[in-house]
C-alpha cells in the first residue's frame, strides 16, 4: 500500500542531516552542560553555538533566544509572565488561536481576573484590523496583544507588521505564536516590533520536544520553570543538547534552501488545488486557503461534498489507504468537539460537512497528490 504523508502542519519528517547531527551529539557530547569539567563544557558550547546560530538567522541577539520544550511552553511563558511580572491586565486575542494561547488566556481570565477581548474574524480567517485598532484605542489598562502569525488550521497569514505598528502606537505588548511560520517564511525579528514569539522545531523538519521563545531584551519577563540557573536563569532544567543542536541544524537547512523549497511546496499545493477542482468540483476551500497571497503555501483546508453518514469514517478510510492528514489541529484531533477555528468562519451549512486539512513539505510529490485525490474521489462517489 502506498504511504502518503500530508500532515506536516502537525509535525514534519525529520531531515536526514538533522538526524546525523543529533546522533553525533548523543554519541560524543553526553556531558551535563552545567558541569564544569571538559565533558560539560563541550555540551555547553554546543548549546551556545546553536543559540548564536538561531539568533543570527532571525536577526536578534543570542540573549533573546530561550530554549524551551516547544511552542506551547513558549506561549505559556510569554502570557503568564506578562501578567505576573509586567502588569498586564488586559489581553487582546482571537477565538481562532492555537489552544496553547486560548486555554492559557482562559486560565488567566479565570484565576487572575484578566480582561480578555476577542478581535472579530472575517470569513477569510483574517482579523478585522479596524476592530483591533478600536480595541486598542479604548483599552484603559496595560494590554498584551496575542495573535498567531499563521493559523495552523486554515493557513491565513497575519499582517504582522501592521499589528506590530498598532501595538507600538498604543503602547501595547505584542506576542505572536510563530510556530507555523518560522522556517517557512523570512522572519527578521529585528524588523518586527514583536516582544515575544513561540517557535517549535518539529514544524521545520527538526526534532519534537524542543523549541524556543524569543524574548525581546530588557522586557522584564521572568522564569516560568524554576529549579536551576539554566537558560541564563529563564528556565530551570538540564538542557536537551541533542535536540537543541538538531533544531539549529534544521533551521539552518530550512533557510539555506528557503527559496527553492518554497517554490517546490507551492507547486505541490497548487497542483493539489487544481486536481481537487477538476475531480471533485463541489469542493470548497475554507478561508480561501487556495489563494497564496494571504495564506500559507504549506496547507489546504477543504470542505468536502460528503454526507454526514459517511463523514464519520472519512479519516479512517484515508488512513487505511495509507494517507495521513488531519481533521484540524493534531493537538485536538482526538477530541469529540469540532474545530474551534472552522466554527468561527464557516456557515452553518458547511460546518456540518467534513473538512480536512492537507499540509505539505519538500518530501511530497505530485504522485502523492494524484493518489490522494483518486482515493477521495472514489470514496465520495461510492
Residue 102, C-alpha cell as written in the block: 486560548
pLDDT digits over 72-111, tens only?
999 999 999 999 999 999 999 999 999 999 999 999 999 9
Residue 228, C-alpha cell as written in the block: 536551576
* The one catalytic residue among 156, 289, 303, 331: 331
Q: Got the DSSP string for 193-246?
A: --SEEEEEGGGTT--SS-EEEEE-TT-----SB-SS-TGGGTB-S---HHHHHH
Please give the pLDDT value at position 349.
87
On whether the CB atoms of residues 244 and 38 are closer than 8 A, the answer is: no
What structural domains and CATH numbers belong to the chain? Answer: 4-13+258-381 (3.90.1150.10), 16-256 (3.40.640.10)
Task: State yes or no: is 167 an active-site residue.
Answer: no
Could you give the dihedral angle defined by the CA atoms of residues 100, 105, 108 and 110, in that order, rounded to the nearest 10 degrees? -110
CB atoms within 10 A of CB 312: 11
Confidence of residue 47 (pLDDT cuts 50, 70, 90): very high
Q: Calculate mean pLDDT across residues 218-239.
A: 89
pLDDT digits over 316-326, tens only?
999 999 999 99
Question: Which one is predicted more confidently, 225 or 79?
Answer: 79
On whether the CB atoms of residues 53 and 248 are closer than 8 A, the answer is: yes
On whether the CB atoms of residues 55 and 64 are closer than 8 A, the answer is: yes
pLDDT digits over 137-184, tens only?
999 999 999 999 999 999 999 999 999 999 999 999 999 999 999 999
What are the angstrom distances between the C-alpha of 366 and each of 4, 6, 120, 202, 372?
Answer: 11, 12, 37, 24, 10
On whether the CB atoms of residues 362 and 43 are closer than 8 A, the answer is: no
Contacts for 306-313 with beta carbons within 8 Å, 24 or more apart? 306/353, 306/354, 306/379, 306/380, 308/352, 308/353, 310/379, 311/353, 311/354
On whether the CB atoms of residues 295 and 289 are closer than 8 A, the answer is: yes
Please give the backbone phi and psi of residue 225, each rounded to the nearest 5 degrees, phi first: -115, 125
Confidence of residue 127 (pLDDT cuts 50, 70, 90): very high
Amino acid at each position: 500500500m502506498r504511504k502518503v504523508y500530508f500532515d506536516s502542519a502537525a509535525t514534519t519528517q525529520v531531515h536526514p542531516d538533522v538526524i546525523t547531527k543529533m546522533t553525533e551529539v548523543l554519541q560524543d557530547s553526553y556531558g551535563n552542560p552545567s558541569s564544569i569539567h571538559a565533558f560539560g563544557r563541550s555540551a555547553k558550547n554546543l548549546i551556545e553555538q546553536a543559540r548564536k546560530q538561531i539568533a543570527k538567522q532571525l536577526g536578534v541577539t543570542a540573549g533573546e533566544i530561550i530554549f524551551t520544550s516547544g511552542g506551547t511552553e513558549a506561549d505559556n511563558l510569554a502570557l503568564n509572565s506578562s501578567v505576573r511580572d509586567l502588569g498586564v491586565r488586559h489581553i487582546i486575542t482571537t477565538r481562532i488561536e492555537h489552544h496553547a494561547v486560548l486555554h492559557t488566556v482562559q486560565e488567566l481570565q479565570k484565576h487572575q481576573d484578566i480582561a480578555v477581548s476577542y478581535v472579530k474574524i472575517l470569513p477569510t480567517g483574517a482579523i478585522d484590523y479596524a476592530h483591533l485598532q478600536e480595541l486598542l484605542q479604548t483599552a484603559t489598562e496595560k494590554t498584551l496583544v496575542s495573535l498567531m502569525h499563521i493559523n495552523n488550521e486554515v493557513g491565513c497569514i497575519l499582517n504582522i507588521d501592521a499589528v506590530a505598528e498598532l501595538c507600538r502606537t498604543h503602547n501595547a505588548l505584542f506576542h505572536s505564536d510563530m510556530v507555523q511560520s518560522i522556517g517557512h517564511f523570512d522572519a527578521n525579528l529585528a524588523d518586527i516590533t514583536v516582544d515575544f514569539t513561540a517557535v517549535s522545531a518539529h514544524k521545520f523538519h527538526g526534532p519534537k520536544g524542543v523549541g524556543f521563545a524569543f524574548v525581546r531584551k530588557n522586557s522584564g519577563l521572568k522564569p516560568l520553570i524554576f529549579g536551576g540557573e539554566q537558560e541564563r536563569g529563564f528556565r530551570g532544567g538540564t538542557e536537551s543538547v541533542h535536540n537543541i543542536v538538531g533544531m539549529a541544524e534544521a533551521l539552518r537547512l530550512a533557510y539555506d534552501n528557503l527559496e527553492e523549497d518554497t517554490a517546490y511546496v507551492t507547486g505541490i499545493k497548487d497542483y493539489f488545488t487544481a486536481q481537487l477542482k477538476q475531480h471533485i468540483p463541489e469542493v470548497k476551500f475554507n478561508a480561501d486557503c487556495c489563494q497564496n497571497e494571504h495564506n500559507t503555501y504549506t496547507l489546504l483546508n477543504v470542505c468536502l461534498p460528503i454526507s454526514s453518514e459517511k463523514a464519520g469514517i472519512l479519516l479512517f478510510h484515508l488512513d487505511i489507504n495509507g494517507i495521513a492528514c488531519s481533521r484540524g489541529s493534531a493537538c485536538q484531533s482526538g477530541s469529540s468537539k469540532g474545530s474551534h477555528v472552522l466554527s468561527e468562519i464557516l456557515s452553518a451549512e458547511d460546518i456540518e460537512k467534513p473538512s480536512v486539512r492537507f499540509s505539505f513539505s519538500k518530501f511530497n510529490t505530485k504522485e502523492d497528490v494524484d493518489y490522494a485525490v483518486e482515493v477521495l474521489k472514489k470514496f465520495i462517489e461510492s
